[in-house]
């Protein structure tokens, strides 16, 4: 218990020290795992690959469900075609090109090189969201990158398990292998969607229960979607994502409370997962594999990822600059490291060469691409003209159906100047400003209260008026002229 406490405290202190640098929590968690592992301080000796794989599978199950649960259909729809292409055939293309090029350069056996390419083929949602936080990247580009990073993990998992089965000789013929692969994909989506729809139906039947039971129910849905798919020899990971997507886009009680719980669970799961993976890594062996690790990073960043992006976004309505940024921003993260435990647990990586190479490559990706995205977006003139002005939803705690939401609207001093009285605002019908937060001071609103830049307004508003609310409020202010770098 004392060691666990030391690890968590070290993580919090490290996060505080690196806060201004916007370093993703996954990098900090990996650093903590490496520091406490046997190759550095030797405080914890951990080398159980099978246990790490099982824990990682459990963590991925929740991470993918939560990713689906937080993906909105209306956000997904405009970019569905490029996102789905990149998340499926784009992943396969990236894996094949990476495997072929690495095979030709290093002389590795083709299937082993293809396994490496499959493991490293998906981008990472946790890293993407952490790096994009408070970064005004152009909306469409950002949406494609974020949704692709959520949607492409199941494909990489299915592809990796498929290649492992090929290496171990568990597939009897090419056609059976293709059918098995197709069933894992289609069956996973179908079973997950079915569980999601049934779960949404019963969610509304138990609305009279205490809200604490909703969290237990949500966890049960995650386990059920994965378990049923696994029983049917379909992709449990894909089923978990699909169930989360259907449930997250259904009308269920206490949804924002569940979303907040899911975000917290995802954060804790990611932290625990990366600390564990850091403990499993062997930095002492990095001098032996760093050259190959750099080679994999260069192949996937400069060759396979750009080829896949430019092929599968050709008719997506994206500009050349947008496609360049999407190609560059293919950050690798948790899933590749987790997938690297699969061959380790199967006895296909006895010297941990693949695992350490993937670990090294992911670290390079997060540091190199993660720190370079904003600079490249600025160079390509793909920064948003202003920060997202959409109101932030705040939980309205009720399990009953309601047509109202509580939202927060911030008057951004970077873009707006001037002031106005509450009585001068033309608000949508049924709208009520219930609180003003002025740099930490809470003000009770009345018609004579003046609203200033930096103020955060807490507003009760009908759902149908949420989008127009910030427009009506901000038109009473003077828009500043913002100079943008070319």
Query: Domains of the chain: which residue ranges?
Result: 2-379, 392-479
| Local confidence band at 393 (pLDDT 50, 70, 90 cut-offs) | low
Mean pLDDT, to the nearest integer, of 235-241?
85
Per-residue pLDDT at 193 exceeds 90: yes
If DSSP codes are grouped into helix, strand and coil, which group holds residue 67?
helix
| Token digits of residue 415 | 């873009």
The residue with greater pLDDT, 30 or 470, is 470
Mean pLDDT of the chain: 82
Residue 42, classified by CB atoms within 10 Å of its CB into exposed (0-12), middle (13-18) or buried (19+), is exposed
- pTM for the full model? 0.70
pLDDT of residue 16: 76
| pLDDT over 50 at 417, yes or no | yes
Residue 214's pLDDT is 85
Cα angle: 115, vertex 241, 213; to 5 degrees: 135
Q: How many angstroms separate the CA atoms of 451 and 455, rounded?
A: 7
Partners of residue 460 on adjacent β-strands: 406, 432
DSSP-derived pairing of the beta strands 456-462 and 392-394: unpaired
Q: How many CA atoms lie within 13 A of 384 on its CB side?
A: 16
pLDDT of residue 484: 46
C-alpha–C-alpha distance, residues 272 and 157, integer Å: 20
Of the listed ranges 247-256, 392-401, 414-423, 425-434, the least confidently predicted one is 392-401
The answer, yes or no, to whether residue 485 has pLDDT greater than 50, is no
2-379: CATH class:
mainly alpha
Q: Between 316 and 243, name the one with better pLDDT.
A: 243
Specify the pLDDT at position 124. Answer: 77
How confident is the model over 239-247, as a mean pLDDT? 90
* pLDDT tens digits for range 136-162: 678 788 888 877 887 787 788 888 988
Residues 91/121, Cβ–Cβ less than 8 Å:
yes
Q: What is d(CA 129, CA 79) in angstroms, rounded to the nearest whole number?
A: 17
What's the rounded Cα separation, in Å, for the pair 135 and 381? 13
Question: What number is the average pLDDT over the span 442-447?
Answer: 86
Dihedral sign, Cα of residue 52, residue 54, residue 55, residue 57: positive
Half-sphere exposure of 34 (CA within 13 A, CB side): 16
Q: Which pLDDT score is estimated for 486?
A: 38
- Helix orientation angle between 353-379 and 25-36, rounded to the nearest 10 degrees: 150
Evaluate whether 421 touches 449 at the Cβ level (below 8 Å): yes
Note the pLDDT of residue 481: 64
Q: According to the model, what pLDDT value does residue 324 have?
A: 94
Cα separation, 428 vs 410, whole angstroms: 17
Question: Which of helix, strand or coil describes residue 261?
Answer: helix
The least confident of 101-105, 111-115, 308-312, 477-481 is 477-481
**What band does 306 get if pLDDT is binned at 50, 70 and 90?**
very high
Q: How many CA atoms lie within 13 A of 386 on its CB side?
A: 14
pLDDT at 95: 95
Please name the residue that has the structure tokens 């974020």: 146
The continuous run of DSSP H or E covering 412 comes out as none
pLDDT value, residue 388: 44
pLDDT at residue 91 in the model: 93
Rounded to a whole number of angstroms, the distance between the first and last alpha carbons of the chain is: 53
- Per-residue pLDDT at 99: 95
pLDDT reading at 321 higher than 70: yes
Per-residue pLDDT, 402: 65
DSSP β-bridge partners for residue 394: 406
Rounded-to-integer distance, Cα 236 and Cα 224, Å: 9
Q: What is the mean pLDDT of residues 56-60?
A: 78
User: In the prediction, which pLDDT does 92 show?
Assistant: 93
> What percent of the chain has pLDDT above 90?
21
Please name the CATH architecture into which domain 392-479 falls. 2-Layer Sandwich (3.30)
What is the structure's pLDDT at 177?
A: 66
* For residue 304, pLDDT beyond 90: yes
Q: What's residue 323's pLDDT?
A: 93
Do 2-379 and 392-479 agree at the fold level? no
Share of the chain above pLDDT 70, in %: 89
In angstroms, rounded to a whole number, what is the distance separating the alpha carbons of residues 237 and 260? 22
């Amino acid at each position: 218990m004392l060691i666990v406490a030391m690890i968590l405290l070290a993580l919090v202190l490290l996060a505080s020290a690196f806060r201004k640098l916007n370093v993703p929590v996954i990098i900090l968690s990996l650093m903590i795992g490496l520091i406490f592992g046997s190759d550095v301080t030797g405080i914890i000796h951990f080398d159980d690959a099978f246990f790490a794989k099982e824990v990682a599978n459990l963590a991925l199950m929740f991470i993918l469900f939560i990713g689906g649960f937080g993906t909105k259909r209306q956000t997904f729809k405009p970019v569905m075609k490029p996102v789905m292409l990149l998340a499926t055939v784009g992943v396969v293309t990236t894996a094949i090109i990476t495997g072929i090029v690495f095979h030709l350069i290093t002389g590795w056996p083709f299937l082993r090189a293809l396994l490496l390419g499959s493991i490293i083929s998906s981008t990472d949602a946790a890293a993407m969201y952490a790096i994009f936080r408070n970064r005004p990247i152009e909306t469409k580009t950002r949406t494609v990158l974020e949704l692709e990073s959520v949607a492409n993990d199941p494909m990489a998992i299915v592809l990796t398990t498929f290649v492992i089965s090929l290496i171990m000789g568990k597939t009897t013929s090419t056609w059976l292998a293709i059918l098995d692969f197709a069933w894992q994909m289609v069956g996973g989506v179908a079973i997950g969607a079915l569980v999601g729809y049934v779960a949404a139906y019963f969610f509304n039947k138990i609305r009279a229960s205490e809200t604490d039971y909703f969290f237990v129910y949500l966890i049960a849905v995650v386990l059920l979607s994965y378990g049923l798919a696994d029983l049917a020899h379909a992709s449990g990971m894909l089923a978990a994502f699909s169930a989360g997507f259907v449930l997250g886009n259904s009308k269920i009680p206490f949804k924002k409370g569940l979303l907040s719980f899911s975000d917290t669970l995802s954060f804790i799961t990611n932290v625990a997962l990366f600390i564990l993976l850091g403990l499993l890594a062997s930095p002492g062996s990095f001098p032996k594999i760093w050259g190959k690790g750099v080679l994999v990073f260069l192949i996937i960043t400069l060759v396979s990822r750009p080829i896949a992006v430019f092929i599968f976004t050709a008719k997506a309505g994206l500009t050349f600059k947008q496609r360049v940024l999407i190609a560059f921003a293919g950050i690798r993260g948790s899933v590749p490291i987790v997938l690297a435990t699969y061959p380790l647990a199967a006895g296909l990586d006895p010297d941990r060469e693949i695992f350490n190479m993937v670990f090294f490559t992911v670290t390079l990706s997060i540091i190199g691409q993660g720190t370079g995205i904003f600079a490249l977006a600025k160079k390509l003139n793909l920064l948003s003209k202003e920060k997202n002005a959409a109101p932030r939803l705040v939980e309205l705690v009720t399990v009953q159906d309601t047509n109202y939401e509580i939202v927060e609207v911030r008057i951004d001093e970077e873009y707006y100047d001037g002031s106005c009285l509450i009585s001068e605002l033309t608000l949508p019908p049924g709208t009520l400003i219930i609180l003003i937060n002025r740099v930490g001071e809470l003000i009770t609103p009345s018609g004579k209260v003046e609203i200033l830049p930096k103020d955060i307004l807490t507003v009760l508003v009908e759902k149908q008026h949420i989008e127009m609310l910030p427009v009506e409020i901000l038109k009473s202010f003077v828009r500043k002229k913002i100079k943008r770098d070319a």
